[in-house]
């Protein structure tokens, strides 16, 4: 049970504010914002998603820079409220196509309409886009998607890849398209976030894949869908033990959206579901089985005199050359007495930038893309303001990396086929099955 719900912009303005029970004072949004903004004086720690000020509990989630907040005086389930906030954001996105400050402001009346149906007197009534459709009457005013930051991992499909219609994922589930008729299509995205920690000698200390099969359906008439996964897929209780050889995909654990029926899952690894409107995760999974990390990182630090050192970073892409990673950023904290860094890129390097962030003494190397099988090197000459004492490796590192690799998945989990129950012989909707791998925490110690 919650008392209020509101959405704040990055500057702390109320975009929508709904009081359901009148148990919390009106100024709560301001109290909340001040608390979040100045959580700790040094600003080093950010406010946790749940905190209590004078008996009022504040919950918040950050979505595209907006703060979705709920307040209550009751001792409720934190998971429930945080899940709800996330779900409200998702429903709004389903409606508006794009979720950001601009689209929210343009459609705030519609958002109020949604909020009225989602929560009554502080209790959740429904968060199903499908059900809400019959109660909501405002037409969304769709904002231009092109210049907006993406919200969900799936939004990365908007960039680069030509094979997909760029606007599809930012399409509202209710708004009609300019042509007047809706295109029948369904998107299935396999999104994997990988975490790898390499020891200083390059040995893999930990590795994990957190995956989601995300679906977004624009099919009319709610046909039943069959989704087949690898037949040799097994779900075991891996206690971080690696398994070799078999080649089978072994998940540690997974969970499913409530619309998913698992009648045949044990038999042939198929999921059956009638997809509701809007975007939702069909299945979340977790894997600690050993896999081949897409990148190797080599770091070499050489002291060159008392006030100088050289860092050599080498990144090698260990995936097929048919695949290209994009928006790669390599970062490395440097000793705090570093005053100057001279970078030296490999000859003929394209689409690479380097930077030394003085505020937090951090080296940053950005690469637009890396083709599978290639290797890139950066040399950085550091100058210090005081003499080195002790080991420089204790003062610098670790090297961390973020990247996105479309059409690649580390787990080898696959959607073998996507079957849509046929309405007629001419019914042949567009089906998009897309893979993408992103770095979650990709770290090499030095």
Partner 1 sequence: MAPPAQTNRSPSPSQPSGKSEVTDLKSQLRQLAGSRLPGVDDSKRELFKKVISYMTIGIDVSSVFGEMVMCSATSDIVLKKMCYLYVGNYAKVNPDLALLTINFLQRDCKDEDPMIRGLALRSLGSLNVANLVEYLVGPLNAGLKDNNSYVRIVAVIGVLKLYHISVTTCIDADFPAVLKHLLLNDQDTQVVANCLLALQEIWNGEASTSGDAMKEREALLSKPFIYYLLNRIKEFSEWAQCLVLDLVVKYVPADSNEIFDIMNLLEDRLQHANGAVVLATAKVFLHLTLSMTDVHQQVYERIKAPLLTLVSSGSPEQSYAVLSHLHLLVMRAPYVFSADYKHFYCQYNEPSYVKKLKLEMLTAVANESSTYEIVTELCEYAANVDIPIARESIRAVGKIALQQYDVNAIVDRLLQFLEMEKDYVTAEALVLVKDLLRKYPQWSHDCIAVVGNISSQNVQEPKAKAALIWMLGEYSQDMSDAPYILESLTENWDEEHSAEVRLHLLTAVMKCFFKRPPETQKALGAALAAGLADFHQDVHDRALFYYRLLQHNVTVAERVVNPPKQAVSVFADTQSSEIKDRIFDEFNSLSVVYQKPSYMFTDKEHRGPFEFSDELGSLAIGTESDVPAHVVEANDKDLLLGTPDKEESRGAGTNGSAYTAPLYDTSLLSTATQVQPELPISNPAAAGLSPQSSLAIDDLLGLGLPAAPAPTLAPSPPPLKLNAGAALDPGTFQQKWRQLPICLSEELSVSPQGAAALTTPQALPRHLQGHSIHCIASGGQAPNLKFFFFAQKAEESSIFLIECKINTSSAKTQITIKADDQSMSQAFSTLFQSALSRFGTS
Residues from 411 through 440 that contact partner 1 (CB under 8 A): 440
Q: Within 13 Å and on the Cβ side, how many CA atoms surround 213?
A: 24
Nearer to partner 1, 24 or 168 (CB): 24
Q: Output the smallest distance, CB 167 to partner 1, in A.
A: 21
Residues 373-402 that bind partner 1 (CB under 8 A): 389-390, 394-395, 398, 400
Nearer to partner 1, 124 or 349 (CB): 124
Q: Output the smallest distance, CB 186 to partner 1, in A.
A: 19
Q: Give bridge partners of residue 71 from the DSSP assignment.
A: 4, 58
How many residues touch partner 1 (CB under 8 A)? 93
From candidates 12, 17, 356, 427, binder to partner 1 by CB under 8 A: 17
At 358, give phi and psi (nearest 5°). Answer: -70, -35
Binding part of the chain for partner 1, among 73-81, 164-172, 289-297, 408-416 by CB under 8 A, reads 73-81
DSSP string, 314-346: EEEE-S-TT-EEEEEEEEEE--TTEEEEEEEEP
DSSP string, 70-123: EEESS---HHHHHHHHHHHHHHHHHHHSS-SHHHHHHTHHHHHHHHHHHEETTE
Nearer to partner 1, 360 or 425 (CB): 360
Binding part of the chain for partner 1, among 68-76, 161-169, 177-185, 218-226 by CB under 8 A, reads 68-76
Nearest residue to 215 (alpha-carbon basis) of 227, 223, 228, 229? 227
Q: How far apart are CA 5 and CA 18, in angstroms?
A: 5
Q: How far apart are CA 291 and CA 309, in angstroms?
A: 35
Q: Where is 362: in which H helix or E strand? A: strand 362-371
Whether 411 and 167 have beta carbons less than 8 Å apart is answered as no
Residues 265-324 that bind partner 1 (CB under 8 A): 281, 283-286, 288
Per-residue string for binding with partner 1, 228-267, x by CB under 8 A? Answer: ---------x-xx-----------xxxxxxx---------
DSSP state letter for 429: -
Nearer to partner 1, 51 or 427 (CB): 51
From candidates 77, 264, 321, 339, binder to partner 1 by CB under 8 A: 77
Residues 330-349 that bind partner 1 (CB under 8 A): 333
Q: Output the smallest distance, CB 335 to partner 1, in A.
A: 10
Q: Output the smallest distance, CB 94 to partner 1, in A.
A: 17
Q: Output the smallest distance, CB 268 to partner 1, in A.
A: 18
Verify binding: residue 12, partner 1, rule CB under 8 A.
no
Nearer to partner 1, 17 or 432 (CB): 17
Q: Within 13 Å and on the Cβ side, how many CA atoms surround 115?
A: 26
At 165, give phi and psi (nearest 5°). Answer: -70, 115
From candidates 34, 35, 37, 48, binder to partner 1 by CB under 8 A: 48
Question: What tokens does 55 get?
Answer: 């008996």
Q: Output the smallest distance, CB 117 to partner 1, in A.
A: 9
Pairing mode of beta strands 253-256, 415-420: unpaired
Contacts 24+ apart (CB under 8 A), 7-14: 7/66, 7/67, 7/68, 7/69, 7/104, 7/111, 8/32, 8/33, 8/66, 8/67, 8/69, 9/65, 9/66, 9/67, 9/101, 10/65, 10/66, 10/67, 10/101, 12/37
* Sign of torsion over alpha carbons 104, 109, 111, 115: positive
Residues 357-376 that bind partner 1 (CB under 8 A): 360-361
Q: Output the smallest distance, CB 322 to partner 1, in A.
A: 29
Whether 418 and 226 have beta carbons less than 8 Å apart is answered as yes
Q: Output the smallest distance, CB 320 to partner 1, in A.
A: 27
Per-residue string for binding with partner 1, 142-181, x by CB under 8 A? Answer: ----------------------------------------
Per-residue string for binding with partner 1, 178-217, x by CB under 8 A? Answer: -----------------x-x-------xx-x-x-x-----
From candidates 10, 35, 38, 121, binder to partner 1 by CB under 8 A: 121
CA dihedral defined by 144, 147, 152, 158, rounded to 10 degrees? 90
Nearer to partner 1, 71 or 324 (CB): 71
């Amino acid at each position: 049970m919650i008392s209020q719900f509101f959405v704040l912009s990055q500057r702390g303005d109320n975009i929508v504010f709904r009081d359901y029970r009148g148990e919390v004072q009106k100024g709560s949004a301001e109290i909340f914002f001040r608390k979040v903004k100045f959580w700790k004086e040094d600003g080093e720690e950010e406010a946790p998603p749940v905190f209590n000020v004078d008996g009022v509990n504040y919950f918040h989630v950050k979505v595209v820079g907006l703060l979705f907040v709920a307040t209550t005086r009751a001792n409720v389930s934190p998971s429930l409220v945080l899940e709800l906030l996330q779900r409200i954001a998702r429903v709004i996105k389903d409606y508006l196509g794009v979720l950001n400050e601009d689209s929210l402001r343009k459609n705030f009346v519609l958002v109020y309409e949604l909020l009225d149906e989602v929560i009554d007197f502080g209790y959740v009534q429904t968060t199903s886009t499908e059900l809400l459709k019959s109660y909501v009457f405002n037409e969304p005013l769709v904002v231009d998607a092109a210049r907006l930051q993406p919200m969900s991992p799936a939004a990365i499909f908007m960039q680069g890849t030509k094979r997909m219609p760029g606007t599809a994922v930012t399409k509202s589930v209710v708004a009609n398209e300019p042509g007047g008729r809706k295109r029948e299509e369904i998107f299935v995205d396999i999104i994997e976030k990988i975490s790898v920690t390499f020891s200083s000698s390059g040995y893999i200390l930990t590795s994990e894949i957190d995956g989601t099969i995300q679906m977004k359906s624009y099919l009319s008439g709610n046909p039943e869908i069959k989704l087949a996964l690898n037949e040799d897929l097994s779900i075991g209780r891996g206690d971080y033990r690696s398994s070799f050889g078999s080649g089978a995909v072994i998940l540690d654990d997974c969970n499913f959206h409530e619309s998913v029926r698992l009648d045949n899952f044990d038999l042939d690894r198929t999921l059956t579901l009638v997809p509701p409107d809007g975007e939702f995760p069909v299945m979340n999974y977790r894997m600690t089985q050993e896999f081949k990390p897409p990148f190797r990182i080599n770091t070499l630090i050489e002291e060159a005199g008392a006030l100088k050192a050289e860092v050599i970073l080498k990144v090698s892409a260990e995936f097929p050359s048919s695949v290209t990673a994009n928006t790669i950023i390599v970062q490395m904290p440097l000793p705090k007495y570093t005053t100057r860094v001279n970078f030296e890129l490999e000859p003929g390097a394209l689409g690479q930038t380097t930077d030394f962030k003085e505020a937090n003494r951090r080296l940053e190397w950005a690469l637009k893309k890396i083709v599978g099988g290639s290797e890139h090197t950066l040399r950085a000459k550091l100058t210090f303001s005081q003499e080195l004492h002790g080991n420089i490796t204790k003062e610098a590192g670790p090297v961390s990396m973020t990247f996105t690799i479309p059409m690649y998945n580390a787990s080898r989990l696959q959607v073998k086929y996507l079957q849509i129950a046929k309405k007629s012989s001419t019914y042949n909707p567009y089906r998009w099955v897309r893979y993408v791998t992103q770095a979650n925490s990709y770290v090499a110690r030095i």
